Amino acid sequence: MPTLVMKFGGTSVANLDRIARAAKRVALEVGKGYDVIVIVSAMSGKTNELVGWVNETSPLYDAREYDAIVSSGENVTAGLMALRLQEMGIPARSWQGWQVPVKTTSAHGAARIEEIPSDNINQKFGEGMKVAVVAGFQGISPEGRITTLGRGGSDTTAVAFAAAFEAERCDIYTDVDGVYTTDPRITSKARKLDKIAFEEMLELASLGAKVLQTRSVELAMRYNVKLRVLSSFEEPSDDAGTLVCAEEQIMESNVVSGVAYSREEAKMTLVTIDDKPGIAASIFGPLSEAGVNVDMIVQNISETNYQGHAGGVTDMTFSCPIDQKMRAEQALNEAKEKGLINFDRLEADTEVAKVSVVGIGMRSHAGVAAKMFEVLSNEGINIKVIATSEIKISVLIDRKYMELAVQALHDAFDLDKA
């Protein structure tokens, strides 16, 4: 029998009625002849509640016990889904991560999947089981402890199972009906995409789009797993949702496929540092060790030359998530105290946002950057930092202009048109 993986997010299993609705969708796929692996998240809000209990009980908690506690929400959902399917006459069984087993690293709270043996579940399929309901977000470490994969980890679980079982497709059910050219809450002209390439989806996910977790898209691209993003609240249809697939499966695409944004950015500038070989390593080494996720980087010659600098001086600017600002400041100030780097002052701007245009068509079309910069200029929006890759251009701007920038770029690149 062909295998299909279906993943249901927290809003899709938020209560018993929604679990029953999701179970009906699973039954439809069983009726088509599939052996189905269902990956479930915890009920909406449950993981936050469990995390709150942990923090209230032990602010400096043991990460191993944290994982044991916060993974329990998925276990409840998996059991309830299996019971619902059994009530519908479908042979189903729930599986926790350790029972499969989903083998992971020992990095509690941010473990990575290393292997998913298929023997146990395939044996049960051979004995007549039609649906394996697996608790997402969790696995087991080499030491035999429960681990979790980080927020959004159920998406990664689903793709990993699709790869391990060579599934025909991995359907991600959520509260949106697909991947849009941008956030429909910002512009009503946002259009649902029928297909999007792995690379485009990976860029959009990393740049702020919340539809899929970045690691899940990386896995899908590596193992060529077809992903379909669709809503669990709309009527089933063969052409529903958005297919995330290899570039070769898309006949023709727009130069730009989408506009992404992130409000939660901070711009950090080290003013007056020595301009010498190794200075960048001296700055970004401590940031890396502190777990700061640096994104955009700009180095420019400082106009000011301070006494005590033997050679030239420069300024270094980078962006990072706003919730990592204090960690970045601490790491850089400690590096200065240790004599690893020297700077005049550290400036932080937390009133910025990142706006990006993404599209595989940019590889073969010139002028995208010029057009983007012209559009922003016409709207009176100043660009603070620029970063590019083969298929994306990102700019850092004042946060108050973020929605205006997204709307203007969406219109300029005709993203409302197929």
Q: Is the pLDDT of residue 97 over 70?
A: yes
Residue 198 assigned as binding residue: no
- Which of these, 117, 69, 109, 74, lies nearest to 95 by C-alpha position? 74
Residue 109 assigned as binding residue: no
Joined tokens for residue 131: 């649906």
pLDDT of residue 74: 97
Residue 7 assigned as binding residue: yes
Residue 211 assigned as binding residue: yes
Residue 62 assigned as binding residue: no
Domains and CATH numbers, the chain: 3-175 (3.40.1160.10)
pLDDT of residue 310: 47
Pick from 164-173, 275-284, 395-404: least confident: 275-284
CB 187 within 8 A of CB 406: yes
Give residue 302's pLDDT band: very low, low, confident or very high (50, 70, 90).
low
256 vs 132, more confident: 132
pTM of the model: 0.81
Give residue 312's pLDDT band: very low, low, confident or very high (50, 70, 90).
confident
Residue 306 assigned as binding residue: no
Residue 371 assigned as binding residue: no
Q: Is the pLDDT of residue 308 over 70?
A: no
Residue 180 assigned as binding residue: yes
Residue 139 assigned as binding residue: no
Residue 79 assigned as binding residue: no
Q: Percent of the chain having pLDDT more than 90? A: 68
Joined tokens for residue 56: 């209230």
Q: At what angle do helices 72-87 and 46-57 cross, to 10 degrees?
A: 150
Amino acid at 246: A
Burial (CB < 10 A; 0-12, 13-18, 19+), residue 135, is buried
Span 360-366, mean pLDDT?
Answer: 83
Q: Is the pLDDT of residue 228 over 70?
A: yes
- Rounded to whole angstroms, what are the CA distances from 64 to 52, 256, 263, 303, 393? 16, 44, 32, 51, 40
Torsion of CA 269, 273, 278, 281, to 10 degrees: -30
Residue 315's SS3 state is strand
- Tell me the per-residue pLDDT of 239-279, one tens digit each, with 9 for 90 and over: 788 999 888 777 666 789 999 999 889 999 999 888 888 88
DSSP assignment of 179-200:
-BSS-TTT-TT--B-SEEEHHH
- Which of these, 260, 258, 202, lies nearest to 413 by C-alpha position? 258
Alpha helices (H) along 230-386: 279-289, 325-337, 368-378
Span 272-296, mean pLDDT?
Answer: 89
Residue 9 assigned as binding residue: yes
DSSP assignment of 117-176:
--HHHHHHHHTT--EEEEETTEEE-TTS-EEE--TTHHHHHHHHHHHHTT-SEEEEEESS
Residue 210 assigned as binding residue: yes
Pick from 23-27, 155-159, 338-342: least confident: 338-342
